[in-house]
Structure 1
């Protein structure tokens, strides 16, 4: 793929900022068509689908932030000269073509494409049918920005309109070389892509995040963090789903009741394991082990009891999605043990899991939150959308 000069890429992004501002009403009108056709009873999906003036402001800001970041392509990672005279440079390089498959969120059409483009990748966008009108309008904005700067739109950004069978066929036998696929969605989508893709798949988007309340937790902090992590945005993959409380915390039963009351006041439906059910008889029981694996994306949470931090770590590593996990404790040694041993992309002490986000973590706009370990885990920002290449300079050397 041709490497574009930094100035050309940034000029496209400047154009895009202006075009998104000019097309606000048209974007919102296109989104209204999608909303009118959608069942709003699925609150999490509906929240993701909505595009309003604030979300358009966020899109413009995301483009601006990426434009202002350093170009990630061609950066020198290492340099060495060998005894035989070979000079070896390792530099960052584009992936090539990235496909992202996502559900509902039209803002991904902006945030994913701006990152891929600035990193000199082509991006194929496969959004959900529920957001087709919104995504089509946003693709038109991208194509206008590319044309204004002398670039062929289809060579850089394409929105794909395919049903499930057509998507499966595309993944099995793509009409062009795919270098990376990022599915953003639930377990079914991720499994579907992994089963059929012929190239690397980077898993992202699944939460099922856990929080452990240690016996030394500050209770005021605990309540504040839990309410924020659970209720601030239920449709986000960094929302909290499972709460584990140490049986040895002072005032254990009273604290369980107080926590339940606080969550009930925030309209959270509670499920309880066997131990907690004895304290909260009105809570629904956890009847199937599968509930511990489930990402809710709803005002629903499980409260369970554990004997110590080791049991909490074991349970989190068994059931969580590997996204985010939090420990509430004033004991830094306990926190360090938890953070070192819990196998998640982000681990927290005394802070809401809602901070697992590119913008909140200082990365800027993100393509996704990766829960894979290769080649990167956590927010996939601009610097993570490149691979590397070795440049070897010689003068006739041969290996003997």
Structure 2
């Protein structure tokens, strides 16, 4: 069964990548319209998943991610589909052209990755996000949702599948599967599947990485840090720290560590701590931090592992740093390479931090919550990658294309040229490719 699913996806991808940008975008407009028309039905299914999650005592962070009716989440999901459809076509861009000889031109052209396997937990909006990004970038996708979102997943999957078959996009370009058995088998289909993108818990990501030969794009944890430097503006520090921790604590871009320069322990630290406590945050503090704060039930002793932990709740680990360099060292050791922020008015210190941190995102005087494909203008994202090759940070359309070399000639053979037995010389003339597409 898994081999059939993967093979069908491969066949569909060979057709999908030949479609025009207009055909792909029109398909996404149709998906948007149908998801909007079926909003009530999908949200009813989401209520069933929420009720089951509560009955099964699932973690609050997971339930928050599951809730599709919270605030403007559903409408934002729909807008994301349109935003992706409106983006510039990522396929067919010429990034290099070299004239090897008269009538023999080499092009480097962006192309789809091929077949994506996306495995996610809780977040049902991923179906719309991935469908949009995959179709727009010319990739086929196989989606597997978690059992906790089964009712929502099923309802959305039906809408997406029924819609795409009425467009130019091949019916098997987006496939949605529900059983765990299929996942194990699909992870063995390296002949047909090009990239696995897991979105979920540390356990999920690590399990996938340990059980497949297919390249994996993603991150296991979102241990993000905010460092308040000695030259920080206290009002900015309070505003950013509170937002980074409380805006959406279940998000992978929420701050889990607060590091404060030791010169601020008697001045800015109490102000920042009060702002966090007022916002409902519990501070897990080291002895040096505790010694500079008044007693409060929201201040508890940090325990081993707190600075290597993704709380995903109204909790944050707090420690003091002797210098920006010490903060950088701490972050590079304890963070998950996701997103870190420095609060300072000193540009030289900020620039050193921006260069010295080994994470996918490094911010100066801004909340870590900005680490998001939608906020970056990508329309949506398939996830956030802490990998160091191919794609890093929020992965939008550019992260879902690679490139291939096209050589366009007129009967030339290598044997005529130097290096293969001939005497003809190469020109190797670089051609300006700005705005060039094939």
The TM-score range, normalised by the shorter chain, is over 0.9
Once residues 336 and 91 of structure 1 are traced to their aligned partners in structure 2, the CA distance between those partners, rounded to angstroms, is 34
Once residues 158 and 101 of structure 1 are traced to their aligned partners in structure 2, the CA distance between those partners, rounded to angstroms, is 12
Which of 294, 306, 326 pairs up with 2:341?
Answer: 326
Contact 1:12 1:146 in 2 (8 A): yes
Task: Identify the residue that residue 222 of structure 2 maps to in structure 1.
Answer: 207
Which of 331, 352, 359 pairs up with 1:316?
Answer: 331
Task: Identify the residue that residue 68 of structure 1 maps to in structure 2.
Answer: 86
Contact 2:104 2:412 in 1 (8 A): no
Shift of 1:148: 1.6
Shift of 1:35: 0.9
Task: Identify the residue that residue 277 of structure 2 maps to in structure 1.
Answer: 264
Unpaired runs of 5+ residues, structure 1, are: none
SS in 1 for 2:373: coil
Which of 235, 241, 264 pairs up with 1:220?
Answer: 235
Contact 2:27 2:168 in 1 (8 A): no
Task: Identify the residue that residue 146 of structure 2 maps to in structure 1.
Answer: 128
Task: Identify the residue that residue 382 of structure 1 maps to in structure 2.
Answer: 397
- Is residue 2:67 matched to residue 1:50? yes
Task: Identify the residue that residue 366 of structure 1 maps to in structure 2.
Answer: 381
Per-residue CA deviation, residues 268-317 of structure 1 (Å, 9 max, x unaligned), is: 111011211222455322221x2211111110001100100110000000
CA distance 1:76–1:137, change in 2 (3 Å): same
SS in 2 for 1:241: strand
Of the structure 1 ranges 46-55 and 187-196, higher mean CA displacement relative to structure 2 is found in 46-55
Once residues 119 and 380 of structure 1 are traced to their aligned partners in structure 2, the CA distance between those partners, rounded to angstroms, is 12
SS in 2 for 1:190: helix
SS in 1 for 2:240: helix
Task: Identify the residue that residue 287 of structure 1 maps to in structure 2.
Answer: 303
Shift of 1:83: 4.3
Contact 1:76 1:91 in 2 (8 A): yes
Per-residue CA deviation, residues 3-61 of structure 1 (Å, 9 max, x unaligned), is: 21222212211211210111011111111111110126622211111112832211221
Aligned residues: 394
Per-residue CA deviation, residues 182-203 of structure 1 (Å, 9 max, x unaligned), is: 1112321111011011211112
Per-residue CA deviation, residues 343-397 of structure 1 (Å, 9 max, x unaligned), is: 1111111111111111212222111111111101111111221110100123232
SS in 2 for 1:123: strand
Once residues 123 and 362 of structure 1 are traced to their aligned partners in structure 2, the CA distance between those partners, rounded to angstroms, is 22
Task: Identify the residue that residue 286 of structure 2 maps to in structure 1.
Answer: 273
Q: Where does 1:94-109 land on structure 2 (aligned, <5 Å)?
A: 94-109=112-127
Q: Where does 1:1-400 land on structure 2 (aligned, <5 Å)?
A: 1-2=14-15, 3-39=18-54, 42-52=59-69, 54-83=72-101, 86-153=104-171, 155-163=172-180, 166-171=182-187, 173-174=188-189, 177-204=192-219, 206-249=221-264, 252-280=265-293, 282=296, 283-288=299-304, 290-394=305-409, 395-398=411-414, 399-400=420-421
SS in 1 for 2:379: coil
TM-score, L = length of structure 2: 0.86
Per-residue CA deviation, residues 318-367 of structure 1 (Å, 9 max, x unaligned), is: 00011111111100000000110011111111111111111212222111
Once residues 205 and 114 of structure 1 are traced to their aligned partners in structure 2, the CA distance between those partners, rounded to angstroms, is 24
Once residues 372 and 310 of structure 2 are traced to their aligned partners in structure 1, the CA distance between those partners, rounded to angstroms, is 18
Contact 1:212 1:245 in 2 (8 A): yes
Per-residue CA deviation, residues 212-238 of structure 1 (Å, 9 max, x unaligned), is: 111110111110111111101111111
CA distance 1:179–1:234, change in 2 (3 Å): same
CA RMSD between the two structures: 1.8
Contact 2:81 2:379 in 1 (8 A): no
Contact 1:182 1:204 in 2 (8 A): no
Contact 1:13 1:67 in 2 (8 A): yes
Once residues 270 and 137 of structure 2 are traced to their aligned partners in structure 1, the CA distance between those partners, rounded to angstroms, is 51
TM-score, L = length of structure 1: 0.94
SS in 1 for 2:303: coil
Once residues 166 and 63 of structure 1 are traced to their aligned partners in structure 2, the CA distance between those partners, rounded to angstroms, is 27
SS in 2 for 1:148: coil
Once residues 258 and 152 of structure 1 are traced to their aligned partners in structure 2, the CA distance between those partners, rounded to angstroms, is 58
Unpaired runs of 5+ residues, structure 2, are: 1-13, 415-419, 422-438
Once residues 131 and 195 of structure 2 are traced to their aligned partners in structure 1, the CA distance between those partners, rounded to angstroms, is 14
